[in-house]
Amino acid sequence: MIDLDFIIGHLNYWLFIVLMMTGLYIVVARGNLVKKIVGLNIFQTAVFMLYISIGKVTGGTAPIYPVDSQGHMQVDPSIIYSNPLPHVLILTAIVVGIATTSLALALTIRIREVYDTIEEEDILEIERKLSAEDNKIHGPAMGGRA
């Protein structure tokens, strides 16, 4: 029995799960460094969506106290406000996401300048060759990538 109420009522959680899994899949499955960053961004955006969607209170308005002409705040306890806290948390998380993305892109640019490629398989090949040369000189090592 498909409980339609349950599905529609939890729509934001379904969307969050879909986006989160999409983002994680892209990070894992795509070999291009920039595409991995895109996947990471989608994953983080899913988390933002989760937080903001839970902040909405049914029938709630924007959580700002109105100010009358003299500049005094009018506090009316009967008005329902949406929860402002998740928005604050997400602002912080968005800024962190931007810093992470720009750092990842800067690293990608430098990797491109050094290895001339941004495909993960090619980079792994190059690094495997580098380690093989090291191992030829210094003896065989075990385990670990590169």
Partner 1 sequence: MSAADSHYVAKTFMDHLPILQVVIPLISAPLIVFIGNRKLAWVIAMAASATAFVIACLLLAQVKDGSFISYHIGGWAPPLGIEYRIDALSAFVLMLISGIGTIVLPYAYTSVKTEIPKRQHVLFYALFMLCLTGLLGMVATGDAFNVFVFLEISSLSTYVLVAMGAGKDTRALTAAYDYLIMGTIGATFFVIGLGLLYMATGTLNMADLADRIANQGANRTVQAAFTFIVVGMGLKAAMYPLHHWLPNAYTYAPSAVTTFLGATATKAAIYVLLRFMFSVFNPGFYFEDWTLYLIFIPFSLLAMFAASFVAVFQTNLKRMLAFSSIAQIGYMLLGIAMLNATGLSASIVHLMNHGITKATLFMGVGAMVLYSGSAFFDNLNGLGRKMPLTGAAMVAAGLSLIGVPGTAGFISKWVLVQAAFENGWWIIAIAIMLSSLLAVIYVWRMFEVLYLTAPDEDCTATDPPLPMLIPMLILAFACIWFGFDTELTLGSARVAAEGLLAGSAGMAH
Partner 2 sequence: MHHHLILRVVTKMLVGAIILFAFYVQFHGDFSPGGGFQAGVIMAVAFILYGIVFGLNKVKQVFPPWLVHKMIALGVLLYAGTGVASLFLGYSFLDYDAFNPHHPSHGQHWGILAVELGVGITVTGVMVAIYYAFANRPPPMKDEDW
Binding mask 65-104 vs partner 1 (x if CB under 8 A, - otherwise)? --------------------xx--x--xx--x--xx--xx
Backbone φ, ψ for residue 84 (5° rounding): -80, -15
* Choice between 69 and 140, CB closer to partner 1: 140
Q: Report d(CA 83, CA 125) in Å as an integer.
A: 51
Tokens of 52: 């903001």
Q: Is 74 left (phi over 0), alpha (psi -120 to 50) or beta?
A: beta
Q: Report d(CA 6, CA 70) in Å as an integer.
A: 47
Instruction: Verify binding: residue 40, partner 1, rule CB under 8 A.
Output: yes
Tokens of 19: 């986006």
3-state secondary structure of 50: helix
* Choice between 71 and 140, CB closer to partner 1: 140
User: Bridge partners of 32?
Assistant: 119
Taking the complex as a whole, the smallest distance from the CB of residue 62 to partner 2 amounts, in Å, to 9
Q: Which of residues 7-66 bind partner 2 (CB under 8 A)?
A: 64
Interacting partner of 27 out of partner 1, partner 2, none (Cβ under 5 to 8 A depending on kind) = partner 1
Q: From the list 21, 96, 105, 114, which residue makes contact with partner 2 (rule: CB under 8 A)?
A: 105
Q: Which of residues 107-146 bind partner 2 (CB under 8 A)?
A: 109, 113, 116
